[in-house]
Amino acid sequence: MSEEIRPPFDQPYVMKVTVNKMRKAIDTSFYKTSSRLEEFEEKSDKWVEVLNTLHALHAVRKVIDDFEANNGQLFSGDKPATDGE
């Protein structure tokens, strides 16, 4: 009689929370990394490394945005349309 009560599973909720946390982590890293730029002499190796890191963070953010845009059914609960339906 010790049945565990579990909340219902909701894929769109899980996906939205996960993507939002990923964006927040990227935003935090972007902010902290960009604040380091002024520590280095312009065009030095570390300065270029900071810029490359900012570029990579932006690219990761774009991948997440594109994934969400191209997989809206995962975030809304709507079933993807298939041919013949």
- Residue 77's pLDDT is 73
Residue 11 pLDDT grade (very low, low, confident, very high; cuts 50, 70, 90): very high
Which residues 6+ apart lie within 8 Å of 51 measured at CB?
A: 37
Cα separation, 36 vs 30, whole angstroms: 10
The alpha carbon of residue 40 and the mean position of all alpha carbons in its chain are separated, in whole angstroms, by 28
Question: What confidence tens digit (pLDDT) does each residue in 22-69 have?
Answer: 999 999 999 999 999 999 999 999 999 999 999 999 999 999 999 999
Residue 85 pLDDT grade (very low, low, confident, very high; cuts 50, 70, 90): very low
Sequence spans of domains, the chain: 11-75
Cα separation, 65 vs 47, whole angstroms: 27
Give the pTM: 0.79
